[in-house]
Amino acid sequence: MIIDSISMKNFQCYYGEHENNNFKFNKGLNLVIGDNGGGKSKLYDAFYWVLYDQVFHSDRREFVKTKIYQENLLSDKAKNECSIGGNVDVEVILIASTAQDKLYKISRIYSAKKTNDREWECATSSKLIVDEMKSTRWSTVSREKHDSILARVIPNHLKPYMWFQGEQVDGLMDFRDKSTLEKAINLLSNIHVYDDLISITKNGFDKANKSLITAQARLVKDKDKAEKLTASLEKNKKDIGAKKEAIEKNREDYEIAKDKIDELIGQIEDAKQKESLKAENNELQLKLDEENKQLKNIYNSLHKKMFSDFWILKNSQKHFDKFADKYTRYISTHNKLTAAENHKDVLPVNVPQPVYVEQMLDVEKCLVCGRDAKNGTDEYNHIKKLLERGTKKTDVSIFKNDCSSIFSKLYNDCLGFKQLIISTNERIENEFNKIEELKNNIIKYNKRKKEISDNFEDLIDDNKSNNIVNSFRTHEMNRDKYQSLVTSGEADLIRLEKNQSGYENEFAKLVKGEVKSELELANTIFNNLHEIAKCTRNEVFNKLIEELEENANDLFGTMTEKNMSITGKIKLKKISNGHYIPEIVDKNGHILPSPNDSNIILVKLALIMSIINSRGKWSENYSLILDAPTSKMAEKYTLGFYETLGKTFKQSIVTTYDFIDSDLNNLKEQFNLGSVYIIKSLYPNGDRTDRTDLSIEINKVEL
């Protein structure tokens, strides 16, 4: 829903009746501009309180329920004016409309009775009333429907990313926390569908596997041995799971160590040397990744090549030649028999071909011996008969089983392999040469990378404090350590998988008889479904990340296009399967050294907005409510941000200190402005320390 208006009665610093504390909002960017301490955060509190019955407790730095906040909710001025025994009522009324222009009024009321000068008897809880507009009158909605209507103002899972205060931005998008992006994506996309399917197929496989093993166990004579093997299988399976987790963790730590090194390298002052080494290092890394990938692919497919590349036919030529002799004898006999039956001659059916026979008839001459064959003569008729070969039904009845087409097909198809067979040795050798070459390249590149690493260390040594140099060395050691842990972990995993196969085979040997084929089929199918589910989930997640990165960079680009001092773009870096961390990088992909705070905040805001935007209709259907989002940003960074807000969200409501002395008429179109209000604290008696005199003056700016 879009927010039409909010009004308050005696809510914190908003002393007085609703008519005096009323904000009406439109589509586009709505601004509420005020000085620090001027009531902006309390307005945000009002939105929060009316929907969630909670207020931000500034001492505790957390949201607390009304029953805890109690009389602190009340306006100090109203409390002061209230006589002992009297009541002060606090109210906030929010009016919102749906996409179909249906209006809802949400009112929350709380009251307290003054029992003493400073003592209040507060209601145990606030009261919520929800009305909907029917024709021209408000009609009260029953309690059961309250939750669903409130959820339509802003759904719970969206709230953290669409209603927040400036100081919450860092927590929402913590670049050091690898789960930040995942949390957002899990909340705001349908990735949970794939997580559920992974879990379901895993359970299915576990059950099917258990059933299969149980059925096999029933067929086993040596029960003791079977039990021991089952236990070994279970333990080995757990070890495999643990090993996979450990490898993932080490991969993540490796990426993080690499990142830290990158950051430190970013601080080296000899820019030229640094850039050249960085560039070479990146190039080497790309080459290494490519060579490793190729090597893995070659190994994985070597056995397959025996069949797909027909290496297996390597020494088969002499056997085919033997078949060829046999076939020749066969086809010769076959054709002789065919010809003998039809025309008592030895020519095959299509020799000469009909087109030449017809030519001979046209020219009335035999083209083989040159004799005349005038129309009507025996010679002419003899040639004409050649056209009738193969048309008589009697051809078919010569053989009980005419195998000529099968054997000819076999012969012709296999003949085509000759060249392939000749070149097999060469092809196998090429494959092994490729493997050698890849291995050598990998060694060469790794060696050069180590040299570059040593160069970096020297450069850092030249111009940085001991702390930084030590830090650099530590991260390098960590990087090498985690890399080797990953390698050794993978080797262990291969060994464990082979053990698993071994145990399964031993178990199979003990099974005397056949289990039902459905059990084996179920085992296979669930295993495959589970594998595919895991892979699909990663692919879907990676795609979401790609889209997120692109959208975030579009937004960030728009926010910063007029500001030359901002560089960099957003990169979502993969550190392991399913974990990404956001980084700010330069155009070469290197981590930007020490971006300023405003830069960082803009990046975070761009990411948050991109996440919301990823499901298009959210920015259309719900209002973005921000309290002082630019509080940590220097002024020149804010213009781009507001412009982007105005363009991206159907409605946004922002409280801010910005523009307090500006003429916003110039920015009306650029920002797509809705309503603009300026709020000011009022102390009629002149004492700005007297909270019992405080009220808020609200002025709408006419644009």
Partner 1 sequence: MNLVQERIYKINPAYLKDFDELVKVHSQFGGGGTDEKFSRGKSFSNAYEFYIYAFFIGLYRDEKKEILDDDNTKTFWEIENWKPRELTDYLIVCAIAESDFDMIMLEQMGEEDIKVQIKLLKNTIEGFANAGLSYINNKLNKEPDLIDDDMFFINLLSDDY
Partner 2 sequence: MKCEREDVLNNFLKSEKFKEITGFTEDEINNISLGSDSSDVFIESLKKLVITYCNEDSEMQVLRAINTRINT
**CB of residue 186 vs partner 2: minimum separation in angstroms?**
11
Please say which residue, 120 or 618, places its beta carbon nearer to partner 2.
618
**CB of residue 543 vs partner 1: minimum separation in angstroms?**
20
**CB of residue 233 vs partner 2: minimum separation in angstroms?**
22
Taking the C-alpha atoms of residue 182 and residue 195, their distance in angstroms, rounded to an integer, is 12
Query: How far lies 13's CA from each of 10, 77, 223, 245, 647, in Å?
Result: 7, 8, 80, 54, 32
**Strands 87-97, 2-9: parallel, antiparallel or unpaired by DSSP?**
antiparallel
Count CB atoms within 10 A of the CB of residue 165: 19
Site string for partner 1, 146-185 (x = CB under 8 A): ----------------------------------------
Q: What share of residues in the chain are helix, strand, coil (percent, to 5)?
A: 60, 15, 25
221 touches partner 1 by CB under 8 A: no
Tokens 């000011």 appear where? 680
**Strands 127-134, 137-140: parallel, antiparallel or unpaired by DSSP?**
antiparallel
**Nearest to residue 580, comparing CAs of 552, 610, 544?**
544
Binding piece for partner 1, criterion CB under 8 A, among 129-137, 196-204, 294-302, 387-395: 294-302
Among partner 2, partner 1, none, what does residue 314 contact (CB within 5–8 Å per kind)?
Answer: partner 1
The answer to whether the CB of 329 falls within 8 A of the CB of 339 is: no
**Nearest to residue 215, comparing CAs of 529, 525, 521, 530?**
521
524 touches partner 1 by CB under 8 A: yes
527 touches partner 1 by CB under 8 A: yes
**CB of residue 527 vs partner 2: minimum separation in angstroms?**
9
Question: Binding residue for partner 1 (CB under 8 A) from 58, 100, 401, 588?
Answer: 401
333 touches partner 1 by CB under 8 A: yes
Say how many residues touch partner 1, by CB under 8 A.
55
Among partner 1, partner 2, none, what does residue 192 contact (CB within 5–8 Å per kind)?
Answer: partner 2
Q: Which two tokens stand for residue 205?
A: 């496989």
**CB of residue 671 vs partner 1: minimum separation in angstroms?**
53
Dihedral sign from CA coordinates of 141, 145, 146, 150: negative
**CB of residue 300 vs partner 1: minimum separation in angstroms?**
5
Question: Binding residue for partner 1 (CB under 8 A) from 175, 380, 417, 657?
Answer: 417
**CB of residue 421 vs partner 1: minimum separation in angstroms?**
10
Question: Binding residue for partner 1 (CB under 8 A) from 81, 89, 147, 531?
Answer: 531
Please say which residue, 331 or 361, places its beta carbon nearer to partner 1.
331
Taking the C-alpha atoms of residue 597 and residue 166, their distance in angstroms, rounded to an integer, is 13
* Residues within the interface to partner 2 (CB under 8 A): 190, 192-194, 196-197, 199-201, 203-204, 207-208, 518, 521-522, 525-526, 528-529, 531-536, 539-540
**CB of residue 306 vs partner 1: minimum separation in angstroms?**
7
Binding piece for partner 1, criterion CB under 8 A, among 214-222, 314-322, 561-569, 581-589: 314-322
334 touches partner 1 by CB under 8 A: yes
Query: How far lies 677's CA from each of 143, 654, 660, 668, in Å?
Result: 34, 10, 10, 13
491 touches partner 1 by CB under 8 A: no
> From edge to edge, which strands make up the β-sheet containing 28-34?
163-165, 624-627, 651-656, 28-34, 673-682, 695-700
The answer to whether the CB of 633 falls within 8 A of the CB of 597 is: yes
399 touches partner 1 by CB under 8 A: yes
What values do phi and psi take at 82, rounded to 5?
Answer: -75, 135
Which residues, including other chains, have CB under 8 Å from residue 626's CB and lie 6 or more apart? 163, 164, 165, 166, 652, 653, 654, 655
Please say which residue, 223 or 293, places its beta carbon nearer to partner 2.
293
562 touches partner 1 by CB under 8 A: no
Among partner 1, partner 2, none, what does residue 620 contact (CB within 5–8 Å per kind)?
Answer: none
Which residues, including other chains, have CB under 8 Å from residue 116's CB and lie 6 or more apart? 84
**CB of residue 521 vs partner 2: minimum separation in angstroms?**
6
Among partner 2, partner 1, none, what does residue 316 contact (CB within 5–8 Å per kind)?
Answer: partner 1
Query: How far lies 342's CA from each of 54, 66, 387, in Å?
Result: 103, 108, 12
Binding piece for partner 1, criterion CB under 8 A, among 393-401, 551-559, 645-653, 688-696: 393-401
419 touches partner 1 by CB under 8 A: no
520 touches partner 1 by CB under 8 A: yes
Please say which residue, 36 or 297, places its beta carbon nearer to partner 1.
297
The answer to whether the CB of 453 falls within 8 A of the CB of 278 is: no
Which residues, including other chains, have CB under 8 Å from residue 206's CB and lie 6 or more apart? none
Among partner 1, partner 2, none, what does residue 498 contact (CB within 5–8 Å per kind)?
Answer: partner 1
**Strands 624-627, 651-656: parallel, antiparallel or unpaired by DSSP?**
parallel
Q: Specify burial of residue 52 (Cβ count, 10 A radius: 0-12, 13-18, 19+).
A: middle
**Nearest to residue 168, comparing CAs of 83, 322, 62, 243?**
62
500 touches partner 1 by CB under 8 A: yes
Please say which residue, 129 or 240, places its beta carbon nearer to partner 1.
240
Please say which residue, 58 or 300, places its beta carbon nearer to partner 1.
300
Taking the C-alpha atoms of residue 375 and residue 46, their distance in angstroms, rounded to an integer, is 113
Site string for partner 1, 336-355 (x = CB under 8 A): --------------------
**CB of residue 267 vs partner 1: minimum separation in angstroms?**
40
**Strands 2-9, 695-700: parallel, antiparallel or unpaired by DSSP?**
unpaired
Question: Under the rule (CB under 8 A), what is the footprint of partner 1?
Answer: 299-304, 306-308, 310-316, 319-320, 322-323, 326-327, 329-330, 333-334, 399-403, 406-407, 410-411, 413-414, 417, 428, 493-494, 497-498, 500-501, 505, 508-509, 520, 523-525, 527-528, 531
